[in-house]
Amino acid sequence: MINLKLNSSQWHGILELDYQKIGDSTQLLKAYSQAPLKIQRSFYPEGKAICHSIILHTAGGIVGGDRLSQTINLQPETQVVLTTPAASKIYRSPGEISQQNIKIEVHDNAYLEFIPRESIIFNGAIFSQNIQVNLAPSGCYLGWEITRFGRTARGETFTQGQWKSCTEIWQNNRPLWIDRQGLIAHEDLLNSPHGLGGQPVIATLTWVGQPIAEDLIQRIRQLWEQRETSSQAGVTQLISGLLCRYRGNSTQEVIDWFTDVWRLLRQNYTGQLIAKPRVWQI
């Protein structure tokens, strides 16, 4: 592969990961990276069966024209937790689109928990992301996407630019969940109840792979209802899983809720406790 830098400020980053079960341990058998993407060494806070990996973006942020590609393969019986250490920053663009494409393969009895930190979409950014997940009949996937529009701590709102996100989850050549979202920055859309409703943060959690019982859906709804907040959220049952949505003003609030959902799903379907990534606490 050729290391291609598009110009002085644009990158074509590549990350290819292949996990394999060796004995009783999930191991990262293959790791290829091309700047600015990089993978840290594996670690095992939950024991050998579950491999934790951290994806790094060494350039510090994504600019217009950047192309990032990730290919993640979980061979049979593997269990992986994949995250990022901090928020991803999508910078203002002079007109070029920045793109991220992620392709995930989850084979028989494998389980991926893809839980990156939030993305911050700077005012003027133009960003498109595509995630495609292919599940074997006995594979499972938990993933979330958290997006903040504008650097609200600085009083910035997302009044210029564009954001698109598409997630497709397939199993046995059958679509289980296809979710296309998009937002063209405009003050009316930011404040409309049919848009962001005046809130800067939206988020989606998807768990797919097995049918989910109604009583578990109710327990997950209760995890949200017990919170005292003005933010909005909902939980929906899918064909083989569930969907959680959030619209509010706090990244930490939605991370805390999603982590509680993750904990409950892990305990219910594997009998194991989660280990919250320590890198988030740095």
Instruction: Judge whether 4 lies within some domain.
Output: no
Instruction: Judge whether 1 lies within some domain.
Output: no
Q: How many folded domains does the chain comprise?
A: 1
Domain with 119 in it: 9-271
Cα–Cα separations (whole angstroms), residue 53 to 15, 61, 80, 99: 12, 20, 8, 22
- Distance of alpha carbon 260 from alpha carbon 201, whole angstroms: 18
Instruction: Judge whether 3 lies within some domain.
Output: no
Instruction: Judge whether 278 lies within some domain.
Output: no
Residue type, 76: P
pLDDT digits (tens, 9 = 90+) for 131-181: 999 999 999 999 999 999 999 888 888 999 999 999 999 998 899 999 999
User: 191, 202, 261: which is closest to 232 by C-alpha?
Assistant: 202
Which tokens is 52 given? 């934790």
Instruction: Judge whether 219 lies within some domain.
Output: yes
Instruction: Judge whether 282 lies within some domain.
Output: no
Average pLDDT, the chain: 92
User: Residue 8: which pLDDT band, with cuts at 50, 70 and 90?
Assistant: low
Residue 10 has a pLDDT of 80
- Distance of alpha carbon 79 from alpha carbon 60, whole angstroms: 29
Residue 11 has a pLDDT of 83
Instruction: Judge whether 141 lies within some domain.
Output: yes
Residue 5 has a pLDDT of 41
pLDDT digits (tens, 9 = 90+) for 224-244: 999 999 999 999 999 899 999
Kindly report the pTM of this predicted structure.
0.94
Residue 190 has a pLDDT of 81
- Distance of alpha carbon 231 from alpha carbon 249, whole angstroms: 7
- Distance of alpha carbon 251 from alpha carbon 233, whole angstroms: 13
Instruction: Judge whether 251 lies within some domain.
Output: yes
pLDDT digits (tens, 9 = 90+) for 88-117: 999 999 999 999 999 999 999 999 999 999
